[in-house]
Amino acid sequence: MIWLDTIVQGILLGGLYALFATGLSLVFGIMRLVNLAHGDMIVLAAYLILVLVTGLGLSPWLAVLIAAPLMFALGWLLQRVVLNRVLGPDILPPLLVTFGLSIAIQNALLEGFSADSRRIPNPDLEGASVALGPVTVGVMPVLTFASAVLVIVILNRVIYGTPLGRSFRATSDDPVTAGLMGIEPMKVFAVATGIAMMVVTVAALYLGTRANFDPAIGPARLIYAFQAVIIGGLGSLWGTLAGGVIIGVAQTLGAAVNPEWQILAGHLAFLLVLLVRPRGLFPRARD
């Protein structure tokens, strides 16, 4: 029964990794942009929620509702003012710019909040748990996983069922021809990054309530997000969830054998999947 418990905890942890990865996957899928500052954006959003909770005395849930549109605006501006200027046939400029952005965000947070580790207070649900059949699980991990599923369901609805999503797919296929349809790719990219930052805000809530965070932990979240996206196959959001779950389960199984093996087991699982399925589990038909 201990193994079943470990696997369930791992699946739920996978929901958190999927939340880290979904925004990254969305942006990469639409504009082939690898945002190396994605992890730091999550940490930035966590501090934003922390400020709203501790400064204004809001509940974390209400704080997310306020932080999400602010992060959308930030993502929109970032894309319009900075990232749109470096997109092009050469993939190096966006990598350099987002790498620089990552360092700038980390240092700004360090300046503003010091290197002390913080946590978003969540007294109502912090220790709460429910019995799920034979295993007992925390309420917050269950909410994390449910949020990941909900975010992916909503994003898929938007992508496959709305004019905006049609513009996303058309621009991703062929930005020049999309222009002939009256679509302005640069505006579409700005909206996509804005939406990705709203997903980042949801990820930040669970990152910040689940464990301590400090300004320097962004890059490691980025690695987990990358691994989830690549295991799942580029361009498939459900694949990204599967990728998150595989890393989560590998980590909790590794930790159950020896606590020192938690992180290593996740990376080994990633390498193993790449050996067997180099294009990920659910690759897009064409790229």
Stretch that binds another protein, among 8-16, 60-68, 167-175, 214-222 (CB under 8 A): 167-175
Q: Name the minimum Å distance from CB 197 to another protein.
A: 24
Calpha distance 48→93 (Å, rounded): 28
Grouping H, G, I as helix, E, B as strand and the rest as coil, residue 28 is helix
Calpha distance 41→69 (Å, rounded): 14
Q: Using CB under 8 A, which of 118, 119, 166, 267 touches another protein?
A: 166
Q: Using CB under 8 A, which of 180, 271, 275, 276 touches another protein?
A: 180
CB 55 within 8 A of CB 49: no
Q: Please name the residues in contact with 112: beta carbons below 8 A apart, sequence gap of 6 or more.
A: 47
CB 189 within 8 A of CB 30: yes
Stretch that binds another protein, among 127-135, 161-169, 212-220, 245-253 (CB under 8 A): 161-169
Q: What x/- string results for residues 117 through 156 when contact with another protein is judged by CB under 8 A?
A: ----------------------------------------
Count the site residues for another protein by CB under 8 A.
18
176 scored as a contact of another protein (CB under 8 A):
yes
157 scored as a contact of another protein (CB under 8 A):
no
CA angle, residues 287, 223, 35, in degrees to nearest 5: 55
Nearest residue (CB) to another protein, 276 versus 285: 285
163 scored as a contact of another protein (CB under 8 A):
yes
Q: Name the minimum Å distance from CB 179 to another protein.
A: 4
Among candidate residues 94, 67, 64, the one with its CA nearest the CA of residue 79: 94
Among candidate residues 151, 113, 129, 130, the one with its CA nearest the CA of residue 23: 151
Q: Which residues bind another protein (CB under 8 A)?
A: 163, 166-167, 169-170, 172-174, 176-184, 286
